[in-house]
Structure 1
């Protein structure tokens, strides 16, 4: 599935290894607003004349098949709801500028001092769809789009429309155990990442 990730730009010519002074980071954002926030970031960086510090702002997406009213519908879906990739030199006030943008929550993996932590090259390659499926399966260090304790909505299957809480994450199978209330009783469901969405 990862090898089918599509990046929302037609021409990606500047890869991480070609930009040693720029590193990739993940910006945490309000879910459902990823593309708007991407545009906000690009506009603000350009307005402040900081284009030399930021090379790319990307929202990784994929084409998925969903069941709607008994019919299969293909749609483009944000692969990591609530996350935006940014290739940049985050020096000086740039991290603060990005975090102050509307609907930006912060950076993934920030230190206690608030310093953004860059992605490792292997993580960047996965998110950009540059590794093949076998290599991905052999490496379990995948960024998980959900966290234990998070409330999610089931969007596919017999329990479509139910809200639940993530109890367990199976990184190897890329499945979640979600606890939902059915007829007043808590019931665990095993669901794939694509069967649930953030609320």
Structure 2
């Protein structure tokens, strides 16, 4: 074996990346993967929504994952692999490239998405298939306010006084957040 050459993929395994993962536990599991990984002090992001849940005959409002099996984990692959091997219900989502490459999200895109969610009181999530061309309006940039610098497309809403901006993680998830009209700058086509 030659010395001084890096093992292919070793440099990737040593970089923290946002991995797209699946949690195959049931929705009523006491310790879903996002809580388990959070307890391990691993940085995670799970899109959450408020939902009316019935537990032991009582209806309560709870924050639950928008998509039960979707979570984003920011860690090194060499640290995640043993955890995935140990927890049978936690899996990487893979690209359809024939090489079983785990799906990742660029740090900049993920931070932009998380900023949009964190700055919104009522984010609305969509899967890419739920957003139709007639829902999507003009390309805009937000100048000022909590969404300063974000670019995206406005959501068309008949008769609505509020403006909502689509922020997308390509092919994964879209969030619609409310923006103030005075902060909207239209971009040229």
TM-score, length-scaled by structure 2: 0.42
Q: Radius of gyration: which is bigger?
A: 2
